């Protein structure tokens, strides 16, 4: 899976473990191993119940003490504790050991084995709920302790099915765990749960379901007042917005998440690194988007300039065509009657062109003065040459002067 699943089971088990194991870190594990070393299988079979209870506690202390430093030894003592508790019918102790072994298999990605032990632990919890006797309390097991163990296992089994790719089954177990969390107001656990649900839906590319899950995770985290869980939920939202192309929303969430992570420099280092990786990807995406927009805007400007030039040219062509048509109409009308000397009739525009020609103006200069195109001026000049029967412009101007027209 691309994303990180928070260890829901470890968070939930805190209160349960505390009841059976106060502080394993305070024990000298080497000394404790020397204490349990003489207990051979024959000695265990001959032991009194009180001795077995003490030995079982010692095995469980070693199981939990070695958990963060030596997984193999932790598993070894978990199996020894389970062997005693199974034989004695100590349901809670059996369930705790089975759950612990399941966690080790889960960490080693041996999911089928993990599921076997998680299910055995869940069976123990159901026996406790059905009234199994407690070796330490005549009142049996409290509803809250049972729900605590049950929700922990629901979360663990949900995570297990999640990584195995059975999402519907994972969601069923998540929903069962969430109902218990809501029952007791365990907001921290619900925040972790909905974060994991959000991560799951992101992996499935179902962003519509991922968004409300992350938002619930954030709400529960804020209600609990846990800044680290707030950071995780914001990171999840930031990653979601990044995947869906909403980079500005992503950046706001990720920057806020980093501020919360900065309060926990010694915790969840992987999650902060993932958050920083998301921020880097957001900035890269925004940089690419900026370059893309600059290219698009430049292309639009060029397109507008080209379009303006085309429209301006079309307007000029239309104007020239109109002027040419007018000149042609005038020429055809005048050709119907051949004028004699000194009877040339000039229209206003022809007179203007003739006057400017007589003044020594060129065609472009005349066009600029009269706001006409050079082609139209050429037409008028040719008409005047015909009307005056003049071979050149100089002859045209000379005749016009002789006739008193300029």
* DSSP states along 296-310: HHHHHHHHHHHHHHH
Q: What integer pLDDT is reported at residue 373 of this predicted model? A: 85
> In the prediction, which pLDDT does 4 show?
58
Q: Are residues 223 and 267 in the same domain?
A: yes
Closest CA to 126 of 100, 107, 153, 87: 153
Residue 193: exposed, middle, or buried by beta-carbon count in 10 A (0-12, 13-18, 19+)?
A: buried
- If phi > 0 it is left, if psi is from -120 to 50 it is alpha, else beta; for residue 133 that is beta
Same structural domain for residues 277 and 358?
A: no
Structure tokens at 395: 């002859």
Q: Are residues 349 and 319 in the same domain?
A: no
> CA–CA distance from 361 to each of 353, 357, 389, 395 (Å)?
9, 5, 21, 15
DSSP state of 48: -
Task: Report, as ranges of residue numbers, the positions in the chain whose pLDDT lies below 50.
Answer: 1-2, 9-26, 337-341
How many domains would you assign to the chain? Answer: 3
The answer to whether residues 16 and 144 belong to one domain is yes
pLDDT the model gives residue 17? 37
Residues 389 and 365 placed together within one structural domain of the fold? yes
- Residue 340 is predicted with a pLDDT of 47
For residues 245 and 350, state if they share a domain. no
User: 122 and 235 share a domain?
Assistant: no
Same structural domain for residues 276 and 379? no
On whether both 72 and 165 belong to a single domain, the answer is: yes
- pLDDT, residue 335, reads 55
Domain range spanning residue 383?
343-402
User: Same domain, yes or no, for 312 and 376?
Assistant: no
Judge if 170 and 32 occupy the same domain.
yes
0.75 exceeded by the pTM?
A: no
Q: Distance between CA 118 and CA 160 in Å, rounded?
A: 10
Q: How far apart are CA 313 and CA 310, in angstroms?
A: 5
Over residues 152-205, the pLDDT tens digits come to 999 999 999 999 999 999 999 999 999 999 999 999 999 999 999 999 999 999
Q: Do 168 and 175 contact (CB within 8 A), yes or no? A: no
∠ Cα 301 302 304 (to 5°): 65
Nearest-angstrom CA–CA distance, 318 and 56: 103
Residues for the chain: how many in total?
Answer: 406
């Amino acid at each position: 899976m691309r994303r990180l699943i928070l260890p829901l089971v470890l968070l939930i088990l805190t209160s349960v473990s505390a009841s059976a194991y106060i502080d394993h870190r305070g024990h000298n594990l080497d000394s404790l191993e020397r204490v349990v070393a003489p207990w051979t299988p024959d000695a265990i079979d001959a032991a009194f119940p009180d001795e077995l209870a003490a030995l079982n506690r010692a095995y469980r202390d070693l199981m939990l003490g070695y958990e963060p430093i030596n997984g193999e030894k932790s598993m070894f003592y978990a199996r020894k504790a389970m062997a005693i508790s199974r034989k004695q019918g100590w349901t809670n102790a059996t369930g705790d050991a089975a759950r612990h072994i399941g966690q080790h298999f889960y960490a080693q990605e041996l999911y089928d084995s993990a599921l076997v032990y998680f299910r055995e632990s869940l069976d123990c919890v159901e026996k406790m709920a059905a009234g199994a006797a407690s070796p330490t309390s005549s009142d049996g097991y409290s509803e809250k302790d049972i729900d605590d163990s049950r929700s922990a296992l629901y979360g663990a089994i949900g995570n297990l099915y999640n990584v195995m790719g059975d999402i519907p089954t994972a969601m069923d177990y998540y929903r069962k765990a969430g109902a218990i969390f809501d029952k007791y107001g365990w907001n921290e656990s619900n925040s972790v749960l909905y974060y994991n649900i959000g991560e799951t839906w992101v992996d499935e590319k179902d962003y519509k379901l991922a968004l409300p899950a992350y938002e619930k995770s954030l709400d529960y985290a804020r209600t609990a007042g846990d800044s680290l869980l707030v950071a995780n939920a914001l990171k999840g939202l930031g990653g979601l917005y990044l995947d869906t192309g909403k980079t500005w929303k992503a950046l706001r969430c990720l920057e806020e998440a980093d501020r919360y992570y900065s309060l926990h420099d010694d915790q969840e280092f992987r999650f902060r690194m993932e958050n920083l990786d998301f921020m880097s990807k957001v900035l890269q995406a925004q940089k690419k988007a900026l370059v893309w927009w600059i290219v698009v805007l430049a292309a639009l400007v060029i397109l507008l300039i080209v379009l303006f030039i085309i429209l301006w040219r079309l307007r000029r062509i239309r104007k020239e065509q109109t002027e040419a048509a007018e000149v042609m109409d005038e020429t055809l009308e005048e050709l119907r009657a051949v004028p004699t000397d000194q009877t040339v009739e000039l229209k206003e525009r022809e007179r203007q062109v003739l006057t400017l020609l007589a003044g020594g103006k060129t065609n472009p200069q005349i066009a600029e003065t009269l706001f006409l195109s050079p082609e139209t001026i050429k037409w008028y000049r040719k008409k005047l040459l015909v009307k005056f029967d003049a071979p050149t412009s100089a002859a045209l101007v000379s005749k016009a002067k002789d006739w008193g027209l300029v």
